[in-house]
């Protein structure tokens, strides 16, 4: 084979360099800076969005529906990627900027980023003025620190340069609702039946207000509540026809307000004194489904609920499906008084912390437990979790007749032991009711100093072996509880 001529080599080298250049440009993140002019970042993202829209227009109705991956990819391009060079410009040149601080290795960040990208697309379609941006806090620690990002993921809203902590939910719809509420759009006005039908397709939970005139003290309280609430979309209308689409048979009075949810208990009318705080309290007690499945995304809202009586069903997904309908029937009887929750027993991060409180962290069978968060008491249904038993258990929780649950290991055989092993079930008889003087050692398996203490107690036990009025005993406080056994675990260095 003849060696290539110099002209051929030149052409080959040029094509190779051009290919690498194209590849390099394609790998640059959307919104990343390639020159020192910050304005190029904003212009570039605007051109990209415009190009997307132009392509969509050319494709027309014949275009096939894009895949979920394509939709997500496009949504992520709408989000500006912040860095040390462009952060200051993006924050200062926009009235509202919602920033997601993340780390590539953070699992919660990975879960939130697709939701954030979808929210960016929705806000753009709604003609919202909120700019959506993200920053890799590991790659750009100084820029992230200047924004006030300390953990992952962190969401911050910058309004005219001032930072505000995010306090909404973590699905794309919840992000959109929160962003609109905090940037001057707390209430959506619907004026036609067509718009109402379209709204119903997009929202599974919302508050509807019917007002003949958008003025007066009641309307002001409605807007005040809408602004204060962080999770639920509020809508308003002056048309009884529109109101009936959203909330059938709504009362055609001077004003009416109701909560709509996509579940059996779909429509709940507000009937209290019309004050913002009363409306917010009504929502806090009625916004959750009859039975709520706890997830990483909603766990904070669930645990902060003002409903202090809570019944938990720890069950696998298939077992819970069979139990859901009868459990909803039980929950309906205790609506607004007891919160019913399902936790997938296989989700270690969600289930195990609770099951450990009952010594059931290894359980694979359905477990029903309850908590009274007013008095920090816990309860366990120790019979088969049938709907009837769960209803009786819930009634006892509501009436305060359940016996609190205290963990206990099995009762041991202490016949030949020089030091008696005490468990939760024997604490009353062997400690509180004992006529003898008892030296009780309280320990845990993870206690650093307990091993040294245990050796000293064993020496004392041998020393007082012949003294019938004196006994030594020990109890594992990590596996046994008793209302009279109050233990404070001290940190040692």
Q: Which residue in 422, 397, 387, 390 sits closest to 407, CA to CA? A: 422
- Give the C-alpha separation, 373 to 354, whole Å: 13
Would you put residue 99 in left (φ > 0), alpha (ψ -120 to 50) or beta?
beta
Identify the active-site residue in 149, 188, 450, 473. 450
Cβ(465)–Cβ(419) below 8 Å: no
Catalytic residue among 72, 84, 106, 350: 106
CB 293 within 8 A of CB 324: no
Q: Would you call 447 a catalytic residue per the annotation?
A: yes
Burial 188-221 (b: 16+ CB within 10 A, else e): bebeeeebbeebeeebebbbbbbbeeeeeeebeb
The contacts of residue 24 (CB under 8 Å, 6+ apart) are none
Burial label for 40, CB within 10 Å (0-12, 13-18, 19+), is: middle
3-state SS class at 206 = strand
Query: Cβ distance 438 to 471 under 8 Å?
Result: yes
- List helix spans (H) across 28-153: 39-59, 68-78, 87-92, 107-125, 141-147
Determine if the peptide bond prior to 153 is cis (ω within 30°). yes
Bridge-based pairing state of the strands 130-136 and 80-82: parallel
Active site residue 472: no
Residue from 226, 232, 221, 228 nearest 272 by CA: 221
Question: Which residue among the candidates 149, 339, 345, 447 is catalytic per the annotation?
Answer: 447
Gap between the Cα atoms of 122 and 173, Å rounded: 8
Q: Is 447 helix (H, G, I), strand (E, B) or coil?
A: coil
SS3 content of the chain, % helix, strand, coil (to 5): 40, 20, 40
How does strand 187-189 pair with strand 233-237? parallel
Active site residues: 106, 447, 450
């Amino acid at each position: 084979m003849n060696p290539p001529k110099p002209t051929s080599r030149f052409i080959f080298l040029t094509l190779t360099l051009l290919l690498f250049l194209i590849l390099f440009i394609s790998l640059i993140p959307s919104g990343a800076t390639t020159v020192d002019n910050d304005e190029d970042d904003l212009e570039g993202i605007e051109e990209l969005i415009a190009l997307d829209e132009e392509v969509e227009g050319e494709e027309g109705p014949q275009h096939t529906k894009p895949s979920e991956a394509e939709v997500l990819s496009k949504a992520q391009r709408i989000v500006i990627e912040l860095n040390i060079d462009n952060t200051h410009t993006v924050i200062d040149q926009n009235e509202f900027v919602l920033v997601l601080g993340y780390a590539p290795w953070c699992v919660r960040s990975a879960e939130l980023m697709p939701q954030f990208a979808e929210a960016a697309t929705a806000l753009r379609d709604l003609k919202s003025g909120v700019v959506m941006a993200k920053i890799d806090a590991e790659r750009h620690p100084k820029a992230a620190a200047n924004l006030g990002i300390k953990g992952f993921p962190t969401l911050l809203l910058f309004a005219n340069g001032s930072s505000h902590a995010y306090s909404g939910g973590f699905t794309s719809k919840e992000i959109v609702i929160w962003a609109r509420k905090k940037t001057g759009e707390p209430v959506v006005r619907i004026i036609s039946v067509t718009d109402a039908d379209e709204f119903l397709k997009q929202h599974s939970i919302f508050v509807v207000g019917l007002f003949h005139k958008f003025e007066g003290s009641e309307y002001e309280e409605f807007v005040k509540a809408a602004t204060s609430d962080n999770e639920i979309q509020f809508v308003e209308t002056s048309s009884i026809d529109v109101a009936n689409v959203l909330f059938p048979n709504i009362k055609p009075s001077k004003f009416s307000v109701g909560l709509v949810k996509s579940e059996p208990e779909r429509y709940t009318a507000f009937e209290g004194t019309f004050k913002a705080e009363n409306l917010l309290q009504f929502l806090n007690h009625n916004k959750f489904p009859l039975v709520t499945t706890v997830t990483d995304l909603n766990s904070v809202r669930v645990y902060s609920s003002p409903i202090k009586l809570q019944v938990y069903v720890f069950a696998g997904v298939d077992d819970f499906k069979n139990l859901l309908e009868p459990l909803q029937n039980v929950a309906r009887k205790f609506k607004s008084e007891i919160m019913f929750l399902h936790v997938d027993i296989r989700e270690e991060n969600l289930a195990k912390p609770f099951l450990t409180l009952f010594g059931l962290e290894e359980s694979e069978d359905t477990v029903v437990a309850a908590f009274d968060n007013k008095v920090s008491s816990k309860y366990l249904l120790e019979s088969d979790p049938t709907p009837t038993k769960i209803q009786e258990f819930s009634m006892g929780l509501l009436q305060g007749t359940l016996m609190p649950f205290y963990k206990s290991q099995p009762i041991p055989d202490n016949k030949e032991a020089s030091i008696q092993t005490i468990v939760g079930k024997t604490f009353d008889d062997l400690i509180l009711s004992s006529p003898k003087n008892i030296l009780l050692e309280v320990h845990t398996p993870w206690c650093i100093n307990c091993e040294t203490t245990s050796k000293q107690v064993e020496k004392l036990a041998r020393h007082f072996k012949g003294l019938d009025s004196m006994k030594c005993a020990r109890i594992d406080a990590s596996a046994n509880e008793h209302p009279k056994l109050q233990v404070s675990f001290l940190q040692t260095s």
